Structure 1
C-alpha cells in the first residue's frame, strides 16, 4: 500500500508539471497562429492594393498605346500634304471614336490611382482629349498631331507617376509585414521564456525534494541505514519521506539478521574456498603445459609456474597488448592468431599454442613444449626423403622434384635427368665386403655432388645407382656434367687402405625433347627415358654416357610385349626345338645334336632366342621353359639312333631352383632316355655364385651318368680354376674366338684351350665354324669336333632323320674309295687331304 500511494503522489506531481507546460505551449501556439493570420491579412490587402494599382497602370498604358497608334495613323495620312487642311469627315469620325476610348481608359486609370498626383495628371489628360474631341471639325492635321504629341507626353509622365506610386505602396506594405512578423517572433519568444520560467519554478519547488528522496533511497540500497529522514514539504513529498523512513527501519532490521547468517556461512565458505584454491594452485603449477588466462577486458588474470619458466615473470593485470610487445610473445598474442598453432622461439624451442575463448569473456592460452617431437618429425621427414647412407635425396625426393619441374613448362626446357650406375661396384662389394662398399658409395656420392651445381639435385635411387636433375642450357650443360662425372669417377678411390678403381655409365634424358617426343609427358617419362639411355650406355662399355633416343623406348615397348607374350607362349605351344649337329671332322661322324629353342610368335613371327631368353631369365619364366626344352629334347632324341646324344643348355637361373636335380631325374625316367645320351651345357656364370651348391648339383648329374659340358669357354673370369675343381666332360670354344682365327691372340687362346683340355682328358668342341678356312685352322690345332653353319644350320626335328640319312650316304663315299685304295690316311688328313673328303660329305649332307 505504501508503494502504491507513493506512486500515486509522484504521478500527481508529474501531471501538474505536465499540465502547466501544456498550457504555456497552447498559449504560445495561439499567439503564433493569430499573428500568422494577421500577417496573411496584411499581405492579402497589400496584394489587392498592388493589383488595383497595376490595373490603373495597365489602363493608362493602353491609352498611351492607343494615342501612339492614332498619332501614327494621322502622320501617315498627312505626310504628303503641302499645306495644312481641315480633317475629312471620315477622319473626324475615326478621331471621335478613338478619343472616346482613350477618355474611358483614362477615367479607369484615374479611379484606380493611388496618389492625388496620379489622379490629377490623368484627369488633366482627359480634359485635353475632351477639348480635342469637341474641336475636331476645326482641326487641321498638323494641329491634331501637335495636340496628340502633347497629350502623349502627359500620358508618359502619368505612367511614371503611377509606377512610382505602385512600387512605393508595395514597399511600404512589405516593410509593414516584416515588422509584424518580427513582432510575432518576439511575442512567441517571450511566451516561450515565460513557459521556461514556469517550468523552472515548478522544478525548483518539486525536484529538490524528489532528489533528496532519491539520494536517501540510494543510500539505503547501498546499505546505509542511518539516514536522517524528516517528513516535510508538500503533502506528496511529506508522505514520500515518511514511507522512506518506514522502509529504512524495516530493511535495517532484516539486514542485521541476514548479516549474521551470512557471517556464519562465510566462515564455512572461506575454509572450503581455501581448500579449493590450494588444490587449484597445486594443479595449475604442476601442469607440464604453460597456461595464462585473460579476462573480458584483455587483462592477465591467471598464470602458472610453467608459463613463467617459458617466458619469464609477468604481472597480473597486464593488458594483452602490452604482453604482445615482448619479443618472445609477439607472434603468440598477435590479433590474427588461430585457435591452434605452433611458434618457434628464439632459443630454438617449438611450442604448440592453444587459444580458447571463455563463455564469460576472455581467453585461455596453453603452451606445450614440442621441440623433441618437432625435431623427430623433421628427422623422419628428412629420412623419408634422403638416403641414410649417403645423405643424398632418395627416389621419393627425386620424384617430387621432377613433379615440381613438370608443373612448370618454363623449367622443362632447362632440365636434364642423368641416371648413373657404378661399373664394377658389385665386384668390390663381393670381394672387399659391404662395409667397404658402403664407404665407396658415400665417396662416389660426394664426387657426383661436387660435379653438380647449386640448383641441381643429386639423388641415390638404390644400390649403386644415382640420379641427377640438372638445370642449365641443354643439352650442352648435361653433356659437360656427364663428362665431368666420368672424369671424377675415373680417379681411383682409397677406401680403408684399398685402392679401388671403378667406372660409371650415364644415361641422359633432356626434358624438352623427351616430353615433346612422348605423349605421356611427365616426371615418370624423364626418369624412365634416362634409365633407358643408361642401359644403352652400359652396352657401350665402362665410362660412357648416352642420350635418350625414341628408338630406345620402342625397344622397351617391344621388350614389354615380349614379357607379356612369354607368359602364355609355353601354354599356347608356340615354342619348338631345332637341332644343330656335333661333327667329328676326322672320323666324319655325327656324335649328337644341340637342342636350340625357337619361338614362332603368331603375330611377330620368329623371335630370336638372344632376345627372349634373357627376358625369360629376368621375369622368372626360364625355369618352366628350360624344363620343357629338356623334356621335349629327351623325348625326341629317343627316336634317334642310340649312339647319338642330345645336348641341352641350362640357364644359370635354373640352378636357383631347389628342384632342378629332381626334375632332371624325373624327366629321364619319364622319357626313358639313357642318362649317357644326355649332355647338359652350362656357362661359367653358373659358378660365380654359390659355387659349392652348384658343384653339388653337377656331381649329382655326373653320378646319374649325364655328361657335363662348359659352354662359351674362355669368356669368363676363372675358367681354369673351375676346370680344376670339377672335371667337365667337354668344353666348348666360344665362337667369338673361332670367328676370327686369323688374329694371333684368338689363335693363341684356342691353342691354349685345346692343349689344356687334352692334357686334363677333357673333350673339346669348337662352335661357330662357318668357313673351310676356320675348319682347316682348327684341324691343324688338333680340334677334331666342330659345330657351325659350315656343317649344318639348326634344323627342326622333322628334318633330323633326312639329314642323318644324307650324311651317312655322303660318309660312305670315302669308305668306297678306301676299298679302292683311295682313302687318305690320318696323316694325310692332317696335311690337307681330308678336306677334299669332307667337302663331299658336307655338300651331300647340306642337301638334306
Structure 2
C-alpha cells in the first residue's frame, strides 16, 4: 500500500477517534446533567421532610394557641393531656428532622437542623414544666427557623442546578470546537507529510532502480537537512562508491594474473609461519612412515629430530614411540618418561602417509585429577564425600566381613550456633582427624553431611569388629577438643548394619541398606549420647509406630482430642497458690492419655505445634479469666512457634478475645529458643514485655550460656530445672541452685523450682531462699474441673516448730 494511502488512513483514524472522544465527552456531560437533576431532587426530599416538620409544628402551635384561649393563660405547668400531645408531636418532629438531616447535601444545613433538634429536645426534656405561652413561643421560633432552613435548601439547590447547567452548556460548545480544530490539524498534517515524505521517497526509489541496472550517472539534487534529504545524499555517496569500487575491481583483476607467482610464494611463507607458531607439535610422515615435516613446537617438546627418520627408529624412541604405536587409536594420551602427559591425535592421509599433532596437557591433566578428587571428596575435611561413599558401598557391600557404620555428632549444632561456624568447621576437622586414626587402611571413612560421617569396614570378622570399631570411635571423641581456646565436649551416636553370612554374595539395595542404618542410628540417638546400636528388624516397627502416631496426631488436631491439666505454683512466703501452669494432654480414643514427651516432639517436627500451641494458649486464658484475679496462668511456647512472624499479634488477639489481663499471663520459653535468630526472638519477647505479659525461662541451667541469656533479655522469672531439684543431696546441684537463686535475686528476677516431690526437696529449697515451687509434693496436674476444689482444699496454716532435719509442712493443708 502506498505511503500516501497509509497517511490518509491514519488521518481518518485520528479524526474518527477525535469525534468518538468528543461524543463520549458529550454523553458524559449528559450523565453529569442527570446526576445534577438527581442531586436536586434528592435535596428536594430533604426539603419535603422540613416542610412536613413545619406542618406538625404549625398544628401543635394551633392546638396550644386554642387551648391558651380556653383558659390556660396562666404561667403554671401544662395539664397531663396537653403534655402527652406536646411530647407526641415533638417526637414526630424530631424523627422528621432526623430524616431530613440524614439526606441533607450541605454540612451547614445539617448543622442548622441539629440546632433546631437540640432546641426542641430541651422543650421535650422540660416534661411539661413550661407554660402554654412558653410552649407556643418556642414552637413559633422553631417553626421560623425551619422555614429559614427550607428556604435556604431550596435556594441552594436551584442555584447549584443552574450553575451546573451553565457549565455543561459551555463545556459542550468547547468540546465540539476542540474536535473541529483537531480534525483540521490532522488534515493539514496529512497534506504536509504527503509533500515532504512521499515525493522524495519516490525519487529515491527511481534512483535505486537505476543503480541496480548498473547506471551510475544519475543526477541527485539534495536540499535541506531533513531525513529525506539525508537519504538522497546517502544514495549519491553510494552511487559514487559503487562506481569507484567497480573501477578498482577491474584494475585489480588485471594485476592478479601478473602477481600469481608472488602470491604462491607468500602463501608458502604464511604456511610455514602458521606451522611454526602452532601451540601443538606437528609431524608429517609419508606413505613409508618416514618423518618428513615437523614444526618448531615439536622440537621444543622433544628436541630436534632429523627428517627421514624411519618408523623403526621412531618406535625405539622412548618419547615418540607412542606416535606410531599400532595399538593406539586416533586420539589418546600418553605419559612421557619425564612425567609429562601428552595428548596425541593421528590422522591417516588419503593416498598414504600420516599426520600427528601432539599437545602437552600436563597442567590440564593435573587440574582434571584435582577436579575428580574434589568431586568425590569433602572440601572441608578432604574425606570421601557422599558420592564416593555411595560408589564404594555399591561395590563392597555383599562381600563377606563388611559392616556399615553411620555416625552423627551429639551436641555439634549447639556448638555451631553458640560459638560460630568457623569454630564448628575447625571442630569438624579435628573430629575427622580422630576418626581417621580409628579406622583401618582398607576401611572407607566419609563425611556424608554437616555433622554426619559414615564408615565402611572391610575384611574382618563381624559383628565383633564393627562393635569394637564403634567403641573406639566413641572413645576417640569423648575427650574434649581444644578449639580456639574453647574446651568443647561432644559425643557421637552410631548406627551399625552388618553383612550377615546368608547375605554374602547377594545383591544388596544400597537405599534399603542406608534406610536400615538410619533406623539403627535413630535408635542410638534415642538412647542418649555416646551410644551405638545394631540394626534390628523391629526398629522398622518403631518407625511405623511413629508414623501412625503422626497420622493420629493430625486427626487429633481436627477432632479436638486435646485438653489442659493445671499444676499449681506454691508461694512459700504467703503459703498460698499463686498460679497454675497449663499442661496439654492428649486423650487418645484407644490409648487413653498420651504423654506430652511422646507427641510434642512429633508435633514440632511435622508442623502441628503452631495450631496446638495457640489452642492451648486460648483455652488456658479463657479458663484463667474465670479464676480469682490474684491467680496467674503460665503457658509454654515452643521455639517453633517463634518462627511465625505474627506470633505477638496472635497472642494479642487471644487476650482480647478471652478478656484475660496481660499481667496475669506468663509465657514460658526454653533456652533452646535463644539459639535461634537472637535478633528476631528478642523483638518478639520485647513485644510481649511491652504488652505487660510476663516471661519465664524454663529448664534454666540445662543448656549453653544460660547466664548470657539473662543479660541479653531480662526475664521476669527463671525456672530451676527438675534435674537439679531431684538430686539436691548432691553438693554440686545445691551449688547450682544457690547460684541461680543468688544471681536472680541480684538481677531482680524471681525464681521457681520445679519437680519438688518430697519434703526434703521443700526443706532444702526453702533454706536456700526459693520463694516459689511446683511439683507433686503440692499437687499433680489436675483437669480444669478440679481446680476449684484444689483451691478450696489448699489453705495456708500457721507455721509450727519442727525437729531438726524435718521439713516444715505444717502450713500445707492440702493432701494429694
Which category describes the TM-score, using the shorter chain as reference length?
0.5 to 0.7
SS at match of 1:463: coil
Cα deviation for residue 455 of structure 1 reads: 0.8
Give the whole-Å Cα distance in 2 for the aligned partners of 1:752 and 1:433. Answer: 28
Q: Does 1:366 align with 2:357?
A: yes
Aligned residue for 2:492? 505
| 8 Å contact kept, 1:490–1:501 | no
Q: Is the 8 A contact 1:514 1:529 kept in 2?
A: no
Match for residue 479 of structure 1 among 467, 473, 479: 467
Q: 1:683 to 1:349 in 2, by over 3 A?
A: same
Q: 1:283 is matched with which residue: 274, 299, 303?
A: 274
Give the Cα–Cα distance (whole angstroms) in 2 for the partners of residues 691 and 778 of structure 1.
32
* 1:467 counterpart = 2:451: no
Counterpart in 1 of 2:798?
825
In the TM superposition, residue 366 of structure 1 has moved relative to its aligned partner by 2.6
Structure 2 CA distance, aligned partners of 1:678 and 1:774?
27
Aligned twin of 2:346: 355
Q: 1:721 to 1:827 in 2, by over 3 A?
A: farther
Contact 1:824 1:833 in 2 (8 A): no
Q: CA deviation at 1:834?
A: 8.9
Aligned match of 2:689 in 702, 708, 722? 702
> What's the secondary structure of 2:618's corresponding residue?
helix
- 2:360 pairs with 1:377: no
Residue 803 of structure 1 is matched in structure 2 by 786
Partner residue of 1:331 out of 312, 322, 329: 322
Q: Give me the TM-score of the superposition, normalised by structure 2.
A: 0.58
Equivalent residue number for residue 617 of structure 2 = 630
Radius of gyration: which is bigger? 1
Structure 2 counterpart SS, 1:444: helix
Going from structure 1 to structure 2, the CA distance change for 1:833 and 1:606 (only over 3 Å counts) comes to closer
Question: For 1:585-734, what aligned pairs fall within 5 Å after superposition?
Answer: 590-600=577-587, 606-688=593-675, 694-719=681-706, 722-723=709-710, 726-734=713-721
Asked if 1:311 corresponds to 2:312, the answer is no
TM-aligned CA deviation for residue 675 of structure 1: 0.8
Residues in 1 aligned to 2:662 and 2:713: alpha-carbon distance in whole angstroms: 19
Q: Verify the 8 A CA contact 1:505 1:534 in the aligned structure 2.
A: no
Q: Does 1:391 align with 2:374?
A: no
Is the 2:493–2:529 contact (alpha carbons within 8 Å) kept by the matching residues of 1?
no
Structure with the larger helix share: 1
Q: CA deviation at 1:271?
A: 5.2
Q: Distance in 1 between matches of 2:442 and 2:262?
A: 71
Instruction: Report the TM-score when normalising by structure 1.
Output: 0.56
Instruction: Report the 3-state secondary structure (helix = DSSP H, G, I; strand = E; otherwise coil) of the residue aligned with 2:446.
Output: strand
Displacement after TM superposition at 1:833 (Å): 11
**2:70 matched to which residue of 1?**
none
- For each residue in 1:660-685, what CA deviation from the matched residue of structure 2 results, as whole angstroms up to 9, or x when unmatched? 33332233234432212211012233
Once residues 356 and 457 of structure 1 are traced to their aligned partners in structure 2, the CA distance between those partners, rounded to angstroms, is 44
| 1:597–1:516 Cα change, 3 Å | farther
CA contact (8 A) 2:480 2:488 kept: yes
Query: Secondary structure, in 3 states, of the residue corresponding to 1:341?
Result: strand
Q: Do the aligned residues in 1 keep the contact of 2:760 with 2:807 (CA within 8 Å)? A: no
Q: Supply the distance in 2 between the matched residues of 1:473 and 1:697 (Cα, whole angstroms).
A: 57
CA-CA distance at 1:728 after TM superposition: 3.7
Tell me the CA shift for residue 309 of structure 1: 3.1
Query: Counterparts in 2 of 1:748-763, with a 5 A limit?
Result: 762-763=749-750
SS of alignment partner, residue 596 of structure 1: strand
Contact kept? 1:514, 1:526, Cα under 8 Å:
no
Q: 1:829 and 1:637, CA in 2 relative to 1: closer, same or farther beyond 3 A?
A: farther
When the two chains are superposed, the root-mean-square deviation of aligned CA atoms in Å is: 4.3
Contact 1:423 1:502 in 2 (8 A): no
Check the 8 A contact 1:732/1:765 in 2, yes or no. Answer: yes
Tell me, in whole angstroms, the C-alpha distance in 2 between the residues paired with 1:402 and 1:723: 49
Cα distance in structure 2, aligned partners of 1:451 and 1:833: 54
SS of equivalent residue, structure 2 residue 337: coil
Q: Structure 2 residue aligned with 1:522, among 496, 500, 509?
A: 509
Q: Tell whether the 8 Å contact from 1:647 to 1:681 is kept in structure 2 after alignment.
A: yes
User: Where do residues 217-236 of structure 1 align in structure 2 (5 Å cutoff)?
Assistant: none
Q: Is the 8 A contact 2:463 2:498 kept in 1?
A: no
CA contact (8 A) 1:586 1:829 kept: no
Q: Aligned pair in 2 of structure 1 residues 378, 743: CA closer, same or farther (>3 Å)?
A: closer
Match of 2:332 in 1: 341
Q: Kindly indicate whether residue 403 of structure 2 is the aligned counterpart of residue 416 of structure 1.
A: yes
Deviations 1:155-182 (A, max 9, x none): xxxxxxxxxxxxxxxxxxxxxxxxxxxx
Partner of 1:400: 391
5+ residue gaps, structure 1:
1-265, 815-822, 844-848
Aligned-residue offset at 1:607: 4.2
Extract unaligned runs of 5+ from structure 2. 1-256
Correspondence 1:38-187 to 2 at 5 A: none
| Structure-1 residue corresponding to 2:564 | 577
SS in 2 for 1:669: helix
Offset at residue 708 of structure 1 (A): 1.8
Q: Give the direction of change, closer, same or farther, for the CA distance of 1:417–1:772 in structure 2 (3 Å limit).
A: same
